[in-house]
């Protein structure tokens, strides 16, 4: 892959879009993934709810606080991790329920039908434990990681609007979620690194001086940390193939992004073999113990990495763009990610959860978004309070009315009207 230095910022390198992804799908038939039935029990404000769908997208409309986002969160729990809100599993249980919760769905996976489900038993939820049960076609799975073998779920929610101006930790979490869609072991490696780093930080806080204790932990951190950084580089390489050019052609679409990684290990991996980077990081940790002891934490490693995003057409940092430009840039990134996932999964597009997306876009950008999703072939889930904002989807999506724990399909006169004809 080709590496390009960005400015004078130490440790910042961008990956060019010259890598060759997207070629393996040529001439192959499209593959399809969509939910045909969703069921919730004692999840958030839903005591008992079930509804069916076809392969089209879904539009959920209703007043604020009616439970639209809770439906999206439930669907996000059908993927590895803690869902789109990052909530504790015990906090997902309905306040009026017995303490536990379940979410299940029937999938149509390239013509095959699979049932996936997850949840927490009441006694486990009441104890505030961080574990959940996952079942595939009724059989209990060993971990939630297996969910990623069946479906990938991407989301864009209002809480992400400050991604470019917020803390580096938020961008790092955003990056690592993307990495996990390409590398199922990334989440495990990241957790292993965090555990090892907490052990080292504990030794630092205690004033421990044992060379042997530090060396064992630091060797583990160096090996795992280098693998974490390498996976991020590979994922960014995939993403840049799709984010390097504008989507939804024309100025009414979404601007392309220029992406880079800022970090000591990320820089080193562009210049030296991974085995040398591991040795160098071990040395950095060993030589930095006194400094880290003063700070009572580890100051160097993949946990300090940052995702640098620039607005491609304007060639300026995303953080300096207007609120509207940042939103369009973020949507473009999510669409690029969805295309990269589809490529990596042999043409199987991910599910897209788009919370309150239409409220922040003008008519032209809304139509551009709908066209991009239709071209992608993904089942998208939209939420909003204004039903008319989704009028272009009237014949292409299913509409549901959400009202305090109930989901009602909409038909006929309840559907949004057609857009007025344009003149000239």
Q: What pLDDT score was predicted for residue 21?
A: 39
Q: What is the pLDDT of residue 418?
A: 62
Which tokens is 302 given?
A: 């993949």
Is 284 among the domain residues? Answer: yes
pLDDT at residue 248 tops 50: no
33-43 vs 46-52, strand pairing mode: antiparallel
The pLDDT > 90 percentage for the chain reads 77
d(CA 387, CA 408): 14
**Distance of alpha carbon 266 from alpha carbon 260, whole angstroms:** 10
CA distance from start to end of the chain: 48
Give CA angle at 387 (385, 390), nearest 5°. 115
* pTM metric for this prediction: 0.89
Residue 6 above 90 pLDDT? no
Question: φ and ψ at 60, to 5 degrees?
Answer: -110, 115
- Residue 423 placed within a domain: no
Classified as helix, coil or strand, 201 is helix
CATH number for the domain harbouring residue 356: 3.40.50.300
pLDDT band at 247 (very low <50, low <70, confident <90, very high): very low
Q: Does residue 420 lie in a domain region?
A: no
Q: Beta strands of 121-262 (E only): which ranges?
A: 133-136, 139-140, 153-156, 257-262
Instruction: Give burial (CB, 10 Å; 0-12/13-18/19+) of 30.
Output: exposed
Q: What confidence score (pLDDT) does residue 342 get?
A: 95
The whole-angstrom separation of Cα 286 and Cα 290 is 9
Residue 125 lies in a domain: yes
pLDDT at 245: 54
Question: What value does the mean pLDDT take over residues 164-172?
Answer: 97
* Statement: residue 375 has pLDDT above 50: yes
Phi and psi of 40, rounded to 5°? -125, 140
Joined tokens for residue 105: 């769905």
- So what's the pLDDT on residue 12? 41
Mean pLDDT of the chain: 88
Half-sphere exposure of 376 (CA within 13 A, CB side): 31
Residue 416 per-residue DSSP state = P
In a domain, 338, yes or no: yes
Strand partners of residue 231: none
Q: Where are the alpha helices (DSSP H) in 46-159?
A: 68-76, 122-126
pLDDT grade for 267, boundaries at 50, 70 and 90 = very high
43 vs 244 pLDDT, higher one: 43
Q: What is the pLDDT of residue 124?
A: 85
Would residue 45 count as lying in a domain?
yes
pLDDT per residue over 182-231, tens digit each? 999 999 999 999 999 999 999 999 998 889 999 999 999 999 999 999 99
118-122, 220-224, 237-241: lowest mean pLDDT where?
A: 237-241
3-class secondary-structure state, position 287: helix
Q: Residue 136: give the domain boundaries.
A: 3-18+29-414
Residue 38 lies in a domain: yes
**Would you state the pLDDT for residue 423?**
44
Q: Is the Cα torsion angle 340, 345, 346, 351 positive or negative in sign?
A: negative
d(CA 276, CA 268): 9
Q: How far apart are CA 240 and CA 3, in angstroms?
A: 12
Q: Which of 20-29, 56-65, 308-317, 365-374 has the lowest mean pLDDT?
A: 20-29
Q: How many domains does the chain have?
A: 1
Confidence (pLDDT) at 354: 98
Q: Taking the CA atoms of the chain, what radius of gyration do you get in angstroms?
A: 23
């Amino acid at each position: 892959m080709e590496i390009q230095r960005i400015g004078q910022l130490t440790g910042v390198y961008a990956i060019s879009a010259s890598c060759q992804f997207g070629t393996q799908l040529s001439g192959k038939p499209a593959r399809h993934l969509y939910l045909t039935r969703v069921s919730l029990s004692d999840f958030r404000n839903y005591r008992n709810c079930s509804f069916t769908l076809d392969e089209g997208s879904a539009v959920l409309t209703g007043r604020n606080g009616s439970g639209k986002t809770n439906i999206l969160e439930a669907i996000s729990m059908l993927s590895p991790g803690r869902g789109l809100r990052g909530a504790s599993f015990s906090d997902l249980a309905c306040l009026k329920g017995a303490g536990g919760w379940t979410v299940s769905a029937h999938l149509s996976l390239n013509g095959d039908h699979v049932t996936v489900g997850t949840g927490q038993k009441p006694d486990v939820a009441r104890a505030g434990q961080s574990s959940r049960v996952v079942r595939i076609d009724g059989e209990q799975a060993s971990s939630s990681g297996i969910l990623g073998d069946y479906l990938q779920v991407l989301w864009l929610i209002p809480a992400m609007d400050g991604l470019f101006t917020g803390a580096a930790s938020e961008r790092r979490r955003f990056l690592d979620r993307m990495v996990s869609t390409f590398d199922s072991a990334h989440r495990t490696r990241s957790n292993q690194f965090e555990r090892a780093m907490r052990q080292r930080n504990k030794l630092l806080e205690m004033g421990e001086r044992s060379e042997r204790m530090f060396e064992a932990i630091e060797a583990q951190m160096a090996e795992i940390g280098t693998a974490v950084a390498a996976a991020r580089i590979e994922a960014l390489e995939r993403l840049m193939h799709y984010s390097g050019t504008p989507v939804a052609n024309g100025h009414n679409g979404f601007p392309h992004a220029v992406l880079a990684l800022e970090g000591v290990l990320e820089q080193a991996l562009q210049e030296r073999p991974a085995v040398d980077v591991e040795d160098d990081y071990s040395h950095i940790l060993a030589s930095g113990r006194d400094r880290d002891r003063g700070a009572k934490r580890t100051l160097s490693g993949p946990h300090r990495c940052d995702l640098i995003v620039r607005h491609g057409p304007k060639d300026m940092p995303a953080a300096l763009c207007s609120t509207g430009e940042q939103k369009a840039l973020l949507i473009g990134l999510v669409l690029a990610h969805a295309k990269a996932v589809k490529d990596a999964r042999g043409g199987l597009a991910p599910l897209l959860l788009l919370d309150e997306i239409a409220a922040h876009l003008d008519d032209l950008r809304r139509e551009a978004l709908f066209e991009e999703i239709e071209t992608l072939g993904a089942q998208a889930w939209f939420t909003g309070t204004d039903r008319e904002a989704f009028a272009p989807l009237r014949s292409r999506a299913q509409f549901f009315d959400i009202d305090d724990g109930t989901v009602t399909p909409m038909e006929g006169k309840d559907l949004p009207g057609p857009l007025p004809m344009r003149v000239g």
